[in-house]
Amino acid sequence: MEVFPLLFFLSFWWSRTWDLATSDSIIHIGAIFDESAKKDDEVFRTAVGDLNQNEEILQTEKITFSVTFVDGNNPFQAVQEACELMNQGILALVSSIGCTSAGSLQSLADAMHIPHLFIQRSTAGTPRSGCGLTRSNRNDDYTLSVRPPVYLNEVILRVVTEYAWQKFIIFYDSEYDIRGIQEFLDKVSQQGMDVALQKVENNINKMITTLFDTMRIEELNRYRDTLRRAILVMNPATAKSFISEVVETNLVAFDCHWIIINEEINDVDVQELVRRSIGRLTIIRQTFPVPQNISQRCFRGNHRISSTLCDPKDPFAQNMEISNLYIYDTVLLLANAFHKKLEDRKWHSMASLSCIRKNSKPWQGGRSMLETIKKGGVNGLTGDLEFGENGGNPNVHFEILGTNYGEELGRGVRKLGCWNPVTGLNGSLTDKKLENNMRGVVLRVVTVLEEPFVMVSENVLGKPKKYQGFSIDVLDALSNYLGFNYEIYVAPDHKYGSPQEDGTWNGLVGELVFKRADIGISALTITPDRENVVDFTTRYMDYSVGVLLRRAEKTVDMFACLAPFDLSLWACIAGTVLLVGLLVYLLNWLNPPRLQMGSMTSTTLYNSMWFVYGSFVQQGGEVPYTTLATRMMMGAWWLFALIVISSYTANLAAFLTITRIESSIQSLQDLSKQTDIPYGTVLDSAVYQHVRMKGLNPFERDSMYSQMWRMINRSNGSENNVLESQAGIQKVKYGNYAFVWDAAVLEYVAINDPDCSFYTVGNTVADRGYGIALQHGSPYRDVFSQRILELQQSGDMDILKHKWWPKNGQCDLYSSVDAKQKGGALDIKSLAGVFCILAAGIVLSCLIAVLETWWSRRKGSRVPSKEAPALPNEAAVSERTNAWPLRPCLKLGGNDWKNQASSHGLHHSTQLGRPLDDP
């Protein structure tokens, strides 16, 4: 009974000793959040939990934390709660509050030397205004601004300048501090722009009703004209309600253009804003880099982020605010800073501080910790998080999205450009609606040679090349209608374009990205990756993936007459003939039949076999077998022979008159299931990337693309892939290979091959299309798309297609063998085997006849000649054949008949040693 108290004392002593030994190494973080920001607390706790599970960063250390909520408009409460956290021994303070309390926390952090990481947030997602934190050049500034500065003034000014607006109105909601865009208002006033301001109240319907009640018709029309160009500085919920109200009350027209700027707009808000608006809409928001590799989306270096935050399809991630993302990256940054302090062995234990006493001393390790945090940097959900000399985060990127003018609702949104404080605006913005007159405009066109889309028709030395093809015909149709001219050249690397490791693009797309060309045209497919960097017109031709294979040579089977039955069936029939012949012989041997008068047939095994074979091929006469058993046996055999011969005759007619062409590869599924024929595509092409993405997609139900990717990716793609399409076509023609490429290109190759040695298979469903690529924000996109739709509606596009893909070509596209027959008549090749069998039988019979003659002569020379006894006058015995008439023999008695027959070398038929009975 005394053992239990002893164990309890030892365990208590050990726990206290362990706590005392590790108390100095506990990492404690304090956090202050606005009481309305509950999601900030959830993300903060998720980040701490993720990092505590990562032993590569903190090893055996664990992060502890204390969280408190304050009223964002009460600085005294914020300072009081921060003091309580400092009394608990925190190493850093994280705050996500508004500007009202930020200055007070900054002063406290500077006084106590506590690193303070400040994440500015705004109420209800309203655009931010600068907090105006006072920063000095001294080393006592312990507040670091995690969110980048507010760049709304610079971005709006650049966009409005690009659109060449001279008169517009700015709407802002009640939560926004209009002083945040004071710099923008000053600059546009200096440039002579006419700008109006209007505050949007919470009750938008009441505001619109007041406008109609107080304004006269002339004033209302002038107000409508002012609304043609507007900037909305408000939270997404207010913007959606405001747009819906003005559209329903007919305050805006279809030629209006509105700009919505807010860092907090997510994809769901963008789609909803576009659906409710009319006219043209431009959306400016903050964006963050997303890894293109889906499998690496949740990894940042050696740290794995919770899937609820990094998966864009997760509901929690879709509703996150920007401040939530920066909170996660802040905790990750602090964890890396603590890791460096542990490695450098410069850890300063944290003593409890009291910020209420007058003689309170600051934390001695605060300066060292602050420098470690400022020198460090991480790559997280917001991209690169690092600090400059002024304690701010300089990394920020804005994305400019927009729609085109149109009356339809639910229009598609596309990326117009991007902006950052280092390079400025990347992309061209225009607000001018082009008419159908582009006369005098000269466009620089980049292309890639690909039959039949773009080909060199004439190349005279010293003169510009002339091009032809389906895409050139489409370009000429646009040029003739719109009136522009163009200069065309081939991409230097002869590639369509793909992203490189450094983020740039090569090929045709790269020429557009670097603005060396105005438009790009060829067999260029519209893909999501390409649409991120360039614009596309509407598709002018459907696209699908096809396979080019070599047509099998037609072989002639001389023994087609044996084809109706399988070899095993022929063997069974032959065995059945032998078996039935043996059974007939045995039945006659057990029950000898009575031979008819004058019958020369004997019931030997040889005769039984010959009779069965003759009846099977429907030859021969009636057999003189009279027993009932034998007749039953032959009746069943004749029925069997009738059915077999009838089946053979019917099946032989089908085999000789119908050419059956069966190929093992008739679809992409068949291609993926076989391994006898290797196949591949052009390395790093759109087809290559399409198969790779679908093959590596774990949610793809069809395993076809997974099997195709395993074949295409052999030896990292170098074994079965080619560098250009022409090499793949030649590889198919002169080897055992299948080429996966654009179906339209492969069909053209198969139609125009002089030897008709190709055939194609592919998908019937078109999932993408060919389009004309233009620079981001190009003003020619809409007019080109409209003209392409007109060509399709009028049928002119079909005429251009039939020029290069005629319906009645010289070669068959889909037949795996070249089978050209005239009618249904049989030729000599079909029955050559029958003639061979007949010839073999004739030769064999001649050889047997020669052998029989030789054998008879040899036997006759060995037997001594004897004089035959005198016979009656009715018949004479022939010396050569030793044959004599049967009728005189039958007149003799039993023994006399046997003696006469024996003397002449004849034998009588017997059964079981007994002579046959006389009739």
Query: Does 414 carry a binding-site annotation?
Result: no
Classify 31 in phi/psi space as left (phi over 0), alpha (psi -120 to 50) or beta.
beta
Q: How far apart are CA 336 and CA 46, in angstroms?
A: 16
From residue 657, alpha-carbon distances to 557, 584, 653, 827 in Å are: 14, 39, 6, 10
> Is the Cβ–Cβ distance between 275 and 305 less than 8 Å?
no
The residue assigned the tokens 């069809």 is 702
Neighbouring residues of 771: CB distance < 8 A, sequence distance ≥ 6? 524, 525, 526, 536, 537, 538, 539, 540
690 C-beta neighbours (distance < 10 Å), count: 18
From residue 783, alpha-carbon distances to 245, 404, 522, 538 in Å are: 31, 11, 19, 10
- Helix 236-248 vs helix 267-276: angle between axes, to the nearest 10 degrees? 10
Q: Three-state DSSP class for 827? A: coil
Radius of gyration of the chain (CA): 48
Asked if the bond preceding 452 is cis, omega within 30° of 0, the reply is: yes
> Is the Cβ–Cβ distance between 554 and 816 less than 8 Å?
no
What residues does 286 pair with on adjacent strands?
A: 398
Amino acid sitting at position 123: T
- Containing 725, the helix (H) or strand (E) segment is helix 725-733
From residue 821, alpha-carbon distances to 184, 651, 659, 750 in Å are: 81, 20, 9, 20
HSE-up of 453 (CA within 13 Å, CB side)? Answer: 22
From residue 856, alpha-carbon distances to 226, 328, 849, 863 in Å are: 127, 111, 11, 11
> Is the Cβ–Cβ distance between 247 and 186 less than 8 Å?
no
> Which tokens belong to 679?
């196949």
What values do phi and psi take at 457, rounded to 5? -85, -30
Query: Does 525 carry a binding-site annotation?
Result: yes
From residue 96, alpha-carbon distances to 79, 93, 737 in Å are: 14, 10, 62
The alpha carbon of residue 89 and the mean position of all alpha carbons in its chain are separated, in whole angstroms, by 54
Query: Does 630 carry a binding-site annotation?
Result: no
Q: Which of 245, 243, 265 is nearest to 122 (CA)?
A: 265
Length of the chain equals 919
Neighbouring residues of 809: CB distance < 8 A, sequence distance ≥ 6? 751, 752
User: DSSP letter string over 151-214?
Assistant: -HHHHHHHHHHHHT-SEEEEEEETTS-GGGGHHHHHHHHHTT-EEEEEEEPS-HHHHHHHHHHH
Q: How far apart are CA 522 and CA 798, in angstroms?
A: 18
> Is the Cβ–Cβ distance between 704 and 745 less than 8 Å?
no
> What are the binding residues for L-glutamate?
525, 530, 742
> What are the binding residues?
525, 530, 742
